[in-house]
Structure 1
Amino acid sequence: HAAKQLAKREETLRHAINHKAALEALIQLVTVRNLSYNCSSWPELHALISAVNPAADDLISLSHGSIQKLVSNSFRVHKDMLRRKLQSTPWKLHLSADVWSAPNHKAFLGICVKFVDPDAKEALQALLALSELPGLDGPGSHGGAEQWKLLQHVLEDYNIWNKVGFYTGDNHGSNDKLCRLLANYLQEKGVDWEAKTRRIRCHGHIVNLAVQAFLFIDSKEAARAALEHIEDTDESAFGTDFSERIKPQRAQGWRRLGPLGKVHNISIHMRENDYRWNEFKKRAGRSLGLDNDTRWNSWFLLLDTTLNLQSYVEWYQKKYYQDLRDDYLTPDEWSALG
């Protein structure tokens, strides 16, 4: 009798297992959390599953190759679902793209779409592709023609070239060229797409450039010279070139920025020595952070953190007064920062 009860219990537990849902959950876990394919052999993961359902111990006993195939198959299924949604929506599809450089110095183009789900009637967004740039003009190059080559493939792969609405990209001149190539391509297919009116520039990028000019350029003439240097250059990386043109202004000394430049130097002083950095962090509960060319809000975060930790920064600059004598923040400068 006991054996029958045990067998019935085991059968019940096995019937409770949804194999399809479990495998899909495993795929999501691997891809979203960026786990290695051999995670299916982790004893800890098997222990967790067995604790929930003892009959499911062998549920994920899969080889590395099997996991890889499942991920690839799942990708194809989800991509096809997205393709059908994009093709069936009666509204325009709005694209955005940006270049990203990986730590291994490879350049990728991320292409995203914003659209209205025809069933749920809600705005959604999705990643269409994250493709490595071919580097036609040399390693790391990402001109408009190179980006267009990848975008064209995406439009044809998803068969959505006839639904393109607006295109959003940063102020790099290559995006102007890409939009002209897109307009020519669509014109050949009988679709009228005006590059100038359909091209949306990155507002955050524009604001960031204005703030950089405010912080780092000390005269209208210097700003005008920097702008004239990159004006009307089709492939000019506007934001990058502008930053490069104003770097000499910064190179003349961070202290010329006044209190903000001193804050930068204090943060650098902390980072130059592990003991000082850990000493401040232990006392204040966190580090100051540091401005960064590629993080547009980094100056704000540095200033905001400094003001929130003012008493600790004052303690630090008093302790290391000999090193920071020229960067010592006075009461008036603290008021200016606030």
Structure 2
Amino acid sequence: MNWITNYVRPTINSLFSRREVPDNLWTKCPECGSMLFHRELSENLNVCTNCDHHMALTPRDRFTAMFDGGIFTEVKVPEAVADPLHFRDQKKYPDRMKEARRKTGEKEAMLVAEGEIGRTPIVAAAQDFSFMGGSMGIYVGNAIIAAAERAVKLKRPLVLFSAAGGARMQEGILSLMQMPRTTVAVEMLRDAGLPYIVVLTHPTTGGVTASYAMLGDVQIAEPNALIGFAGTRVIEQTIREQLPEGFQRSEYLLDHGMLDRVTHRKDLRRELITITRMLTGMPPAVAGDLPAPADLPVAEPSEQAAKPDATGDAPAPDAKK
């Protein structure tokens, strides 16, 4: 046995070998190209610290940042038919679903939850663009109906975060049927006199824009979000004209009356608290509102403090010597 080859050399190599760096420590901003450290980006709610570009945020991360203390309860959504059309393109539809669930860790493209923001009870629903482009299928329709029914039952406002590429082609006409279904769900809220607030995030397009995403009592959007029905090239080829710069971006839509506000992600929670409390007739939220501390017994004054001094007067507790 050659101990130099078998022991000394491997030991030296292990001491001086380069450590492997995980691939997920840094994220490249798609807008300005800056390399952002994952922890710093997460603390900034997935907003680029260099150019303020708003990147995608998963529904679970969004709810954790929005609800008081990051505490929320998921609302049960009825199951949808797994593969109603037995659709297949390059892959089978069930195989695509398995891949999306493995990639995102979520069951489907929408998450529904209930909780409090600024001591204001609400029901919230959010789409996950990383799950098959946030496409609207039967499950998403069921989720919005479940959210509306829960809001009506608890008499709470409904806040919806949209992020979708449109209807899910693997479900064909059944996905398009979710447009009238979700419109009826919004009407349930209107009949109950409950606010429906929509926050449009990048991107919100297709049949989602043509239905529940543009039916809110208050329409808010994140900065520079792409919002529209048809794509820019399709519109240009149809009308045979070049569209203005920034067309279908949230700032352009705000200037042309399709939105009420464009709000930075850091300010969105405070904005939603103000709007929901205003629409439900609640008083303004108190900054730093926390539960009152438990009543503590009043401490008895010490004998030394009660003992009079040479003048016959008890010294003040904060008297300087």
**Is this a same-fold pair by TM over 0.5?**
no
Shorter-chain TM-score tier = under 0.3
Tell me which protein shows more strand as a share of its residues.
Answer: 2
* TM-score, normalization by structure 2: 0.23
Q: Flag the structure with more relative contact order, 1 or 2, with Cα contacts below 8 A and sequence separation at least 6.
A: 2
